[in-house]
Amino acid sequence: MRLPYVDPKSPTFSSAENAAILSRVEARRAPRPLQALDLTLLHSPHVADGWNSFLGAVRTKTSLADDVREIAICRVAVINEAWYEWGHHAPLAKAGGVSDEGIRALGDKGLGGSAGKSVLSEKQMAVVRYTDEMTNNVKVPDDVFVELKKHFSEQEIVEITATVAAYNCVSRFLVALDVGEKNSVKGPEF
């Protein structure tokens, strides 16, 4: 970690405003404790508050199936080598129904082609290709978008796009500050 983690008992959180922010972040994480990401973001309470609200909506208030959301997040993590993110979300992808073979395939940067077709559904592969294009190139080719539209509603497409965009932000923050001390990891741990 390039910055020390914040102590939630520090005087920073003695003001009513900052204490309320800390409470909101803790409430979203409950029953788990604050994570290294939270303890980094809380260096700037207002940024942590906005982040908490936005990422909370992306993670828990969309209509996306768990496998779809976590596939998108895991692909962002792999492409950006955000192994802290991978460590948190690969188990959630598995819990959401992605097979062990599918998890291993998601960990392969070259998956966007045909490699994952035998272990991921067409719908899941459409999410992989869309996520890969958004993350690697920002612009998404028409054929990739058309394939996504075959499987998802307009609402779901907005939610997938917001998830990929949000987790690109998350991964860049994690890697730049080496949150969770994972930058030295050389790939996904299975």
Q: What global pTM score does this model have?
A: 0.94
Q: What is the pLDDT of residues 143-159, one digit of tens each?
A: 999 999 999 999 999 99
* Alpha helices for the chain (secondary structure H): 16-29, 36-41, 45-60, 66-79, 83-95, 100-106, 122-137, 142-151, 154-177
Q: Which amino acid is at 39?
A: L
pLDDT the model gives residue 187: 79
**Domains along the sequence of the chain with CATH:** 11-60 (no CATH), 66-181 (1.20.1290.10)
Say how many C-beta atoms besides its own lie within 10 A of residue 179's C-beta: 25
pLDDT category of residue 188 using cuts at 50, 70 and 90: confident
Q: What is the pLDDT of residues 45-100, one digit of tens each?
A: 999 999 999 999 999 999 999 999 999 999 999 999 999 999 999 999 999 999 99
